[in-house]
Structure 1
Amino acid sequence: MKNRILWLSLALVAGQAGHAFAQGPSDALRYSRLQFGGPARTQGIGGANVALGADFGNLTSNPAGLGLFQKSELHFTPGVGVGQSDGRIEGISSAAVNDTKNSFHIASTGVVLANRKADTEDGDWRGGAFALGFTRLADFNASSNYQGTFGLERASFLERLKPSAGVQPQSFYDNLDAQASSGRYTSDLGLAYGAYLANISSYRRGTRGDSAVVLRAQGNQITQGELVTNSGSLSQFDIGYGGSFRDRLYIGGGIGIVSSNFTQTRTLTESDNDPNTHFQSLTSSTELRTKGSGFNARLGVIVRALDNLRIGASVQTPTFMRLSDTYNESLVGSFSATGTDRVPGDLPVGTGPKVSFQPNDYDYTLTTPFRANGGVAYTLGKHGFVTGDVEYVGYRQARLHNDPNGANGDDYSFSAENLAVRNLYKNTVNLRFGAEGRFDVFRVRLGYARYGDPYVADTNDDRAQNFYTAGLGLRQGNFFLDAAGVYTTFNQVYTPYSVGGLEPTIKVSNTRFTTSVTAGITF
């Protein structure tokens, strides 16, 4: 049986600490691809409120809508999210693996302070409203899993370290010995060496022209699986004001302070039941924790073109964020006492030692894209309204930058990562539609939103996000109560590692149902 003899390159293992361990295009997309948020009323109509006005969600979409408030209000919105995913390796016959991830969150809370002139008072400026509040704009909570068996047509996890040709100096091998003896690992190769998944061939050590590092041989069939768990959110604290000019033109502006936290844990396992190899299995575990903060600003306008027709538009500056990563990685292998493959050096039987990187911290900055919104709303007297929005997001304009004043800061240019952003992503359009029916003190709402696929690659996998929404409301005196449900569907396609196009491709189908309840008072 043909075994895979894997060689490791210096090119892939040198300099693994620092910026190279985490930052990349996926980080730029994660903090740029937002969702609509706000109280349950906003969510029930699919976030389509750019031209609607008198909605707290206008604070993050179009602050001109604050100018339509007739009364002050205070509200609080908790919520629960239930997520499910099905993951599989594309191109092989394997069953999808189901996983779930649930969360509790605060969707929105805030206050609107309205000040309006009486109809008998003179003046073109009829009043306005000041608002401040908290809105959750991105939900990172998700979990996915896959498992399957593949042969030589795909590269295993260990083969991601396959080398380029070249002669390494003796100091290269001495460095591996030093990492293992001190327990302070600084490279993927160091981890593999410390976990007995790689060894320096004893018959070659010290012979410069023939020096090499050999990995344990693997058989023809590899069973691989990976569990990826994400948690966290991106939220925004906003201050805004909207004013009314002759009750025909509404102008507003706002400033947002962004706060984000994201945690991703990945556990990849690989096993081989081939009796001809000593290798049995390995487990690679990584954890990335990212905290960030930033700011942005927005301006908006709404025109009451007809008594029942409103047209709105808003623009938002890029968000300027400072992010801090903490990264950990560990590796462990298990081995059998039997096997016909050559084993240089000593080899443990059973589970070998678990070895880990020293935690790496790195600070950097991110500029997310400019955003522009347009909307139309038509009111049906006291019976309700219909509304629709279109949003432009320039994902290709996201940029990563170094933060020389931060932890492990340096003068790294991020030019390769920013070029990858331009090559991988495209500018997209998001669509939102909603309607509300009013029945005495009750409200019924429906909505739909489609957020475009940000990837340039033209594949058969649509990675747009679809949101199906519904809601109910009650207005009783100065008290209001709203509930909303948002059902989200989206697909992900990714590779767990890169080996020149031979790595497995993973497709994950995701659904998530979020329900929120808003309680508030007007005064």
Structure 2
Amino acid sequence: MKRLSTFILLGLCTIGSAQSINEVLRYGLEETQGTARYQAMAGAFGALGGDLSALNSNAAGSAVFNNSFFSATASHYNRNNEAFLGNGFRSSDRNYLDLNQLGGVFVFKSNNGSPWKKIALAVNYDMVQNFDNEIRIGGTTSVGIDNYFLTFANGVPLGPIRVQQGELIEDAYLDIGASLGFADQQAFLGFQSGFIDPEDPDDDNNTQYFSNATYNTVNQEYLQRTSGYNSKFTLNFAGQYQENLYLGATINIHSVLFDRLTTLDEDGYDPSSAIQSSYFDNRLHTEGAGFSFSLGAIAKLSDNIRVGGNYQSPTWYNLTDDFAQRIDTDFADKNPDITFIDFNSVNLFEEYTIRTPSKLTGSLAMIFGKEGLISFDYSYQDMSKAELRPASDPSFTSENQFISEQLGAISTFRLGGEYRIDRVSLRAGYRFESSPYADNPSWGDLEAYSGGFGYSWGPNRIDLAYTRSERDLGVPILDIGLSTGQVNQVNSYVSLGYSVNF
């Protein structure tokens, strides 16, 4: 039977388990997914249109279609993570299949002399992010789990984090979280599991604690396994005005599901240490929805040159979290009932909002008749403007200040080309995305290379694409108090798509 409790002091958890800068990056950064043609050309479609996933780059893109059109795309994903911690190296690899794009556009042409030559209505589903991933970090470090609990516990009175007479330990855990907040709850876990003890155990007003673990270095094995998705359902309306101007607008509705399991095993303490082994596991579940809109335009400057511009509004995500933990040590004087706190004791958080920043995209394309094209997009998004809401919450105010100081502007460059030989189209692309941090050497820039081809017969076309992206990033072992593993993450996608003109 699951035990549930709602955090009244919602903001106090921003330091630890959720609702922090990590969530802003999770939902604010987007992968280049979509149709196989879009992926093969690195998503450089802002001045081109004529592809359903091009609506991600420019809302006017559907008006470029000459006929009604349908497409569907499936992808095989491979994620490889090589992680370093101290002298330790771990590698993990994960593969999965997904339907990442499905949609259609209906084109209505004017025959009555109107300056509006055609109108297009499009409906499209795109995968923004697939969260399926696994990272393993292991090695020797001088910062043990006890530092995590000391960070929260020092300053917390001892009395409220005792188990009261006749109270079950799992009920105490949930009640402390609901009434006092995340920091006190973590202090409770550290104390009851034996990681830490009060300087004065007879004083309920004691606020200073010490560690029961002694070591110079410890051995840690950390696993972070995530799953879920951020998908986007797009409704689009666009039109061609006279011969050379395309205008469009989209409404985007996001659906979010995210699960994260982290496990941390630790040993290698000094032989005289009162603790010789321990584990600490956390599970986070998030779900919700988001909304954004975009406005775009494409202009033909000549038969060969097109330019485009697009404004994507901020995305407002309304999310809810639930969070559970389990912990144990071999400390002799721990509370023996500590194992009753497990993933069946679930903390529920009130609904909150993440507002990711708006994005501006400018595009240029050169069309070489029926032989091929080259396209370039540049996007700018200032991540320091991201916000957690309600902004009136004191802890959200503090975290938003931290976000504005740590994050910076992301510049994204996309370059794509296509060359046609009869029924065959050869494609290639390159994408560069700068780090979202203003100054953080743990997070590097992203580089991606892509290629593919298409084959057409009659109204039908099959497209195949391969994309490889790479980025170095720092992955903290827990969110506060411990070391950070350095991870080289390589994502590879193979996508197959089918489309048909009507």
TM-score by length of 2: 0.88
> Structure 1 residues 44, 165: closer, same or farther in 2, change over 3 A?
closer
Aligned residue type for 1:511: V
Residue 197 of structure 1 and its aligned partner are, at CA, apart by: 3.5
Identify which of 443, 447, 453 aligns with 1:466. 447
CA distance in 2, matches of 1:462, 1:209: 42
Deviates more, 1:224-233 or 1:159-168: 159-168
Is 2:489 aligned against 1:510?
A: yes
Structure 2 counterpart SS, 1:414? helix
Aligned residue type for 2:329: G
Aligned residue type for 1:359: V
**Do the aligned residues in 1 keep the contact of 2:152 with 2:187 (CA within 8 Å)?**
no
Q: 1:7: which partner in 2?
A: none
Aligned residue type for 1:466: E
> Structure 1 residues 310, 178: closer, same or farther in 2, change over 3 A?
farther
> Can you give the 5+ residue segments of structure 1 that lack an aligned partner in the other structure?
1-13, 336-342, 404-409
Residue 112 of structure 1 and its aligned partner are, at CA, apart by: 0.7
**Do the aligned residues in 1 keep the contact of 2:161 with 2:188 (CA within 8 Å)?**
no
> Structure 1 residues 124, 85: closer, same or farther in 2, change over 3 A?
same
Residue 171 of structure 1 and its aligned partner are, at CA, apart by: 2.9
Is 2:120 aligned against 1:136?
A: no
CA distance in 2, matches of 1:380, 1:27: 43
CA distance in 1, matches of 2:419, 2:146: 59
Residue 176 of structure 1 and its aligned partner are, at CA, apart by: 6.8
Give 1:426-505 correspondences, 5 Å limit: 426-459=408-441, 461=442, 463-497=444-478, 503-505=482-484
Aligned residues: 481
> Can you give the 5+ residue segments of structure 2 that lack an aligned partner in the other structure?
1-7, 177-184
CA distance in 1, matches of 2:381, 2:453: 30
Aligned residue type for 1:54: G
Q: 2:192: which partner in 1?
A: 194
CA distance in 2, matches of 1:57, 1:165: 49
Give 1:63-462 correspondences, 5 Å limit: 63-89=59-85, 92=86, 94-117=87-110, 122-150=113-141, 154-162=142-150, 171-172=159-160, 174-175=162-163, 181=169, 183-185=171-173, 186=176, 187-199=185-197, 205-207=201-203, 215-334=211-330, 345=333, 353=339, 355-356=341-342, 358-362=345-349, 363-402=351-390, 414-459=396-441, 461=442
**Do the aligned residues in 2 keep the contact of 1:155 with 1:499 (CA within 8 Å)?**
no
Structure 2 counterpart SS, 1:485? strand
Aligned residue type for 2:366: Y
Aligned residue type for 1:328: A
CA distance in 2, matches of 1:245, 1:210: 74
> Structure 1 residues 97, 163: closer, same or farther in 2, change over 3 A?
closer
Q: 1:60: which partner in 2?
A: 56
Q: Which of the two has higher C-alpha Rg?
A: 1
Residue 74 of structure 1 and its aligned partner are, at CA, apart by: 1.2
Residue 178 of structure 1 and its aligned partner are, at CA, apart by: 7.0
CA distance in 1, matches of 2:266, 2:464: 45
TM-score by length of 1: 0.85
> Structure 1 residues 22, 424: closer, same or farther in 2, change over 3 A?
same
Q: 2:179: which partner in 1?
A: none
Cα offsets for 1:313-339 (capped at 9, x unmatched): 01011111101111111111235xxxx
Residue 213 of structure 1 and its aligned partner are, at CA, apart by: 5.4
Identify which of 37, 42, 52 aligns with 2:38. 42
> Structure 1 residues 352, 235: closer, same or farther in 2, change over 3 A?
closer
CA distance in 2, matches of 1:106, 1:165: 46
Pairwise CA RMSD of aligned residues?
2.8
Structure 2 counterpart SS, 1:302? strand
